[in-house]
Each structure stands twice: as structure tokens, then as C-alpha cells.
Homo-oligomer: A and B are copies of this chain.
């Protein structure tokens, strides 16, 4: 009594005494079917537990599905998931579903994963570029599949992209520290190779240069080694002979580490994180915040827009950031 085979249109048609096309009409078109027939068909379908096969339907209809792919690097990072939530919501408004795939932050697997998804004939592809080079996607793009790169720009590929105001956001944070007198400001982040971190680092340096601080190398902790935790990075900064009076973090992992170390630091060290987090308000941590849901929604909208207007120019969107002052970033330097 296992797996009896699935009913098809033809089975339903036979039972209802109509042609399969009529059944098809009942389930798809909804046009030109008498109420009588319609009910008879629906009855038979129910009895046979019929469910239309979207595979066949989509194939027949020209190989387009209702699926949009989102390729994510690290699934356990809450940031990406929130972005995914935004994407899903926007897609749902248009009757599309999202498939999620992970490259496990491994550049090598990116093309493999993407390829598998494209074989599924996804309607559009959203991805967080991990590999060095996305030129392999150019063919697909020319075939009309919208490609949107999320959080980082794609390399060697013309594609829509949505990124954060990384540089500006970080510069604003650092400026708010220099405005109250800080000059010795540490920067922690890892890993350093990534676009977002490079941008934020640039913003940090830029803001410091504005107040005449040009040598920042010894205050930068950009550890590629994941074993070096944010906590250790902060500690190594504090252990300097001339330690910074303020620290900024380039990513959300840095914030948690910094909070742990800096809580019982005396004299207190100012801190501003990048990316808001739960309880940051209760803890009084100032952060550069942005709306990750909106990042996802925007990415989805770009894809949908491209679908509606295939010949439009490529768009680059920046999601604004804003500094939220909660106290930790307003601690003045000790005098």
C-alpha cells in the first residue's frame, strides 16, 4: 500500500467523462467551463487526490518557473537571514517563491551551486558574491535572467546591485567620535578581504584623516584568521602602550566581542558597532544601523523590475545607514 501513482489530468478527465483539456481549463484558465462540468471535474479531482504538476505546466509554458534563487554565503549569520526574510516577503507579493542555497562561504562552490539553481530555471538570481569573479554569469544574464548582487558588488559582471552605505556610515560613526575629542580610535573587523570591510575601513580612515590622523595602521585589527576572535582583537588594542580611547567595529560579530570586553573597562572606552542587535538598546551600545529587511526587499524589487523591463539600465542601489546614539559612542576621551 505504498506510493500509489499520482493522478494526472487524464485520469481526472476519464473519471469525470470529459477531455483532459477541460480539466486543464478548470485548474488553470478558469475560462469557458460550465458550472456543471467544473463541479464534476473538481469532484473527480478530489477523489483522485489530483494536484496539477507544475513541472509539466512550466515546461509547457516555456520553461519559466515561479522561483527566485537567493544564494547566501553563511547560513548561520542572522544578517543574511534577515535579508532573506525581506526578499521572501517582496517575492510573495508577486506570487513568487524563494529557494535558498548556501555556498558555505566557499568561493569554489559558488559556481556549482549557482549552476544547479539555474538548471532549475529560476526566474531570477540574487546572490551574495563570494567568489573572485562572477563573469561566469554573463551568459545567463544575456539570456534574460535578472541577476542582482546583494551586499557586495559582483566582479566582472554587469548586474544590478544593492549595498549598504558602508563608507559613509562608518565615517559618520568615526566623525561623531572625533567630534567629542577622540583621536586614538581602534578599528576591529574580520576578515579584511571582503568588500564591506574594505569600504568601512576606508570610511574609518577617511574620517580620521579629516582631523589630521593619518597613521592608523597600529589601531587596525583586520584578522583573517577566524581563530582570532573579536574579543582578542579588542584586548590586543587595549594592551597597546598607548591604547585607543575609542573603538569601532566593522561587523556585527565585532560588536558582541567588544561588548564583552569593554563592559568592565576603566576608564571606559567609547564604542560604536556596525549593525544593530537585540538588546543593544538595553546595553546602551551606539551603533551604525540599517534595515536588512529593506536590503532584501530592494534586491527583490530590482529583480522584479528587471523582469518587467528587461532592457533597463543596470541599477546600483545604496541602502542608507544611520548612527544611533545610545551612550557607548558618546563617552568622551579621558582627560
Whether the pair B89, A102 counts as a contact (CB closer than 8 A) is yes
A52 touches B (CB below 8 Å): yes
Return the contact of A55 from the options B58, B81, B85, B140 (Cβ within 8 A). Answer: B58
Whether the pair B278, A49 counts as a contact (CB closer than 8 A) is no
Return the contact of A76 from the options B85, B92, B139 (Cβ within 8 A). Answer: B85
Return the contact of A53 from the options B51, B63, B76 (Cβ within 8 A). Answer: B63
Query: Who on chain B is nearest to A56 by CB?
Result: B59
List chain B residues, Cβ under 8 A from A263: 282
Whether the pair A97, B97 counts as a contact (CB closer than 8 A) is no
Within 8 A of B (CB), among A106-154: 115-121, 139-140, 142-144
Whether the pair A100, B102 counts as a contact (CB closer than 8 A) is no
Query: Who on chain B is nearest to A85 by CB?
Result: B75
Whether the pair A121, B55 counts as a contact (CB closer than 8 A) is yes
**Distance in Å: Cβ of A149 to nearest Cβ of chain B:** 20
Contact with B along A272-300 (1 / 0, CB 8 A): 00000111011100000000010000000
A-B pairs, top 7 by smallest CB distance, nearest first, are A75-B85, A3-B144, A81-B81, A49-B139, A99-B99, A54-B119, A260-B282
